[in-house]
């Protein structure tokens, strides 16, 4: 027998502790937990490496494909847009038709898209492959949702930390490995390796996770809402992405930017009136979810800012008054402490979550990362000083990164974990796009007479990103100390 929690406190009448169809029974949860977690970590590593390996090679692809810098930029933009607009829809489909099934579909899309890009002989084909790869954006939030479904409660905190650590370390490893890989193999292996890893990751997911579930309460996909959400998110990210090239007042940026509020308002109206909304606005309005998503947006601004500022600073010629004129290999090595900081903080993360909950981990992480930016704004005269700041950033982001996903999936009904985690992921993506744009704008405005960013411009950008992270800290302290989980019972049937 077990008590069923209800929203607002208290418990309902006791009911037999029988897991619903599609969820692993308690005893099997214990025995399968390590293997399930290993499979989810493999899936996460495939996605994180895929999105990071390509960044250092944009110049190489520009030369090979005979395109312009803005054309090569679409190799990143297509992936970003596709991931952002598809992740909430795939999260909703996972809640309705089974998370295992949608996870396998996302991994298949990643593998197929990477194969298309690896074989591409032109920019159009490569961009198309990247758009298909973007469907894999649902992998990370689905991992969090599957952890809640298939791991026992006492193992979830460490599992959340493990998946988030793999995401962070995989991103750092992909960035560092790209340079050496390009020197010994074709650039197309930057897609070939993730294609193979994605295919391999599907095996443990298919074998170890039980069949998904289909809801019988009449739940369905709100296609008008999905189209409107994809439209305003796409317009927003397109405007942000193009602003660095054309400026905020250019028609290419102003037109989609001005259309965003109108389309977003229409989407809110549609979601409010829909019988089965794509995103339940009542769930987004829960105190924990609302504050966590706001913190995630600001965390994304600061997190992605470091991946732009630090490589630029380290590579900039020392004759400009700041920088070290480092090679791409040295730049990658300087970024390695990010992954090291994330690994070192894992025991602290687990201890914080067990004793004080993920809210404390989020607060500690954002405070640490924000302080690291302030440290770097003052001390950046040697590579050792930069590496120390990067190490602290990695530790802080590692603490906060795992906490936001855990807070969201533990605060919403099980039937909404997929789409809720997906929305949280989109918030981080939008924040990252804003961070890159804001950082680039600050560096450009304060550039020296040589055209390179001045020491003062770097310091201003770092203070801006620190302010964003301290803003995330303020959001974290507004998260309720005890998360009330809405228990929504929905009749379900097993899927094949």
Q: What's the pLDDT score for residue 119?
A: 93
Q: What's the pLDDT score for residue 220?
A: 80
**pLDDT bucket at 61, cuts 50 / 70 / 90:** confident
Predicted confidence (pLDDT) at residue 416 exceeds the cutoff of 80: yes
The pTM of this model reads: 0.79
Candidate from 62-76, 246-260, 278-292, 407-421 with smallest mean pLDDT? 62-76
* pLDDT (average), residues 283-290: 91
* pLDDT (average), residues 125-132: 93
On average, the pLDDT of the chain sits at 82
Q: What's the pLDDT score for residue 160?
A: 86
Give 35-59 pLDDT, tens digit per residue.
888 888 888 988 888 877 787 777 7
User: Which of 80 and 463 is assigned the larger pLDDT?
Assistant: 463
* pLDDT (average), residues 463-475: 95
Candidate from 17-21, 97-101, 220-224 with smallest mean pLDDT? 17-21
Greatest mean pLDDT range, 147-156, 212-221, 266-275: 266-275
* pLDDT (average), residues 152-166: 84
Give 306-345 pLDDT, tens digit per residue.
777 888 888 888 888 888 988 777 887 888 888 888 888 8
Distances in Å between the Cα of 25 and the Cα atoms of 20, 33, 149, 245, 351 are: 9, 11, 10, 53, 27
How far apart CA 303 and CA 300 sit, in angstroms, is 5
Candidate from 123-127, 157-161, 232-236 with smallest mean pLDDT? 157-161
Three-state secondary structure string covering the chain: CECCECCCCCECCCECCCCCCCCCCHHHHHHHHHHHHHHHHHHHHHHHHHHHHCHHHHHHHHHHHCCCHHHHHHHHHHHHHHHHHHHHHHHHHHHHHCHHHHHHHHHHHHHHHHHHHHHCCCHHHHHHHHHHHHHHHHHHHHHHHHHHHHCCHHHHHHHHHHHHHHHHHHHHHHHHHHHHHHHHCCCCHHHHHHHHHHHHHHHHHHHHCCCCEEECCCCCCCHHHHHHHHHHHHHHHHHHHHHHHHCCCCHHHHHHHHHHHHHHHHHHHHHHHCCCCCCCHHHHCCHHHHHHHHHHHHHHHHHHHHHHHHHHHHHCCHHHCCCCCCCHHHHHHHHHHHHHHHHHCHHHHHHHHHHHCHHHHHHHHHHHHHHHHHHHHHCCCCHHHHHHHHHHHHHHHHHHHHHHHHHHHHHCCHHHHHHHHHHHHHHHHHHHHHHHHHHHHHHHHCECCCCCECHHHHHHHHHHHHHHHHHHHHHHHCCCCCCCCCCCCCCEEECC
Give 79-90 pLDDT, tens digit per residue.
888 888 899 999
Predicted confidence (pLDDT) at residue 25 exceeds the cutoff of 60: no
**pLDDT bucket at 240, cuts 50 / 70 / 90:** confident
Residue 347 · residue 402 · CB < 8 Å: no
């Amino acid at each position: 027998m077990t008590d069923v929690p209800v929203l607002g406190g208290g418990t309902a009448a006791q009911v037999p502790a029988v897991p619903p169809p599609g969820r692993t029974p308690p005893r099997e949860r214990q025995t399968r937990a390590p293997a399930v977690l290993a499979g989810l970590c493999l899936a996460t590593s495939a996605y994180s490496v895929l999105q990071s390996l390509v960044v250092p090679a944009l110049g190489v692809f520009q030369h090979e494909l005979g395109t312009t810098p803005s054309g090569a930029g679409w190799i990143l933009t297509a992936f970003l847009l596709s991931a952002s607009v598809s992740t909430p829809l795939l999260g909703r489909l996972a809640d309705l038709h089974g998370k295992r099934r949608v996870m396998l579909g996302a991994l298949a899309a990643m593998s197929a898209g990477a194969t298309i890009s690896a074989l591409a002989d032109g920019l159009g084909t490569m961009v198309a492959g990247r758009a298909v790869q973007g469907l894999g954006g649902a992998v990370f939030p689905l991992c969090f949702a599957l952890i809640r479904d298939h791991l026992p409660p006492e193992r979830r905190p460490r599992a959340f930390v493990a998946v988030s650590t793999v995401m962070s370390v995989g991103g750092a490893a992909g960035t560092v490995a790209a340079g050496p890989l390009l020197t010994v193999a074709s650039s197309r292996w930057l897609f070939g390796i993730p294609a193979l890893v994605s295919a391999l990751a599907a095996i443990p997911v298919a074998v170890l996770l039980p069949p998904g579930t289909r809801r019988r309460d009449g739940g369905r996909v709100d296609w008008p809402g999905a189209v409107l959400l994809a439209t305003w998110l796409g317009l927003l990210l397109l405007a942000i992405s193009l602003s660095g090239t054309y400026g905020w007042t250019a028609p290419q940026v102003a037109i989609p930017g001005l259309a965003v509020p109108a389309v977003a308002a229409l989407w809110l109206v549609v979601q409010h009136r829909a019988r089965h909304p794509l995103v339940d606005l009542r769930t987004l309005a829960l105190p924990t979810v609302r504050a966590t998503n706001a913190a995630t947006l600001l965390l994304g601004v600061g997190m992605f800012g470091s991946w732009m500022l630090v490589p630029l600073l380290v590579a900039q010629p020392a004759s400009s008054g700041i920088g070290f004129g480092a090679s791409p290999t040295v730049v990658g090595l300087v970024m390695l402490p990010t992954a090291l900081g994330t690994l070192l903080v894992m025991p602290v993360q687990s201890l914080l979550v067990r004793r004080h909950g993920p809210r404390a981990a989020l607060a500690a992480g954002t405070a640490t990362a924000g302080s690291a930016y302030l440290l770097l704004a003052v001390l950046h005269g040697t590579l050792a000083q930069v590496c120390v700041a990067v190490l602290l950033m990695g530790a802080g982001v590692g603490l906060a990164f795992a906490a936001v996903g855990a807070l969201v999936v533990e605060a919403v009904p099980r039937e909404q974990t997929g789409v809720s985690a997906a929305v949280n992921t989109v918030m981080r993506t939008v924040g990252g796009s804003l961070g890159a744009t804001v950082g680039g704008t600050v560096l450009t405005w304060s550039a020296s007479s040589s055209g390179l960013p001045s020491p003062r411009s770097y310091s201003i950008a770092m203070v801006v990103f620190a302010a964003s992270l301290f803003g995330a800290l303020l959001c974290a302290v507004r998260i309720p100390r005890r998360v009330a989980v809405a228990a929504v019972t929905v009749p379900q049937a097993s899927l094949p």
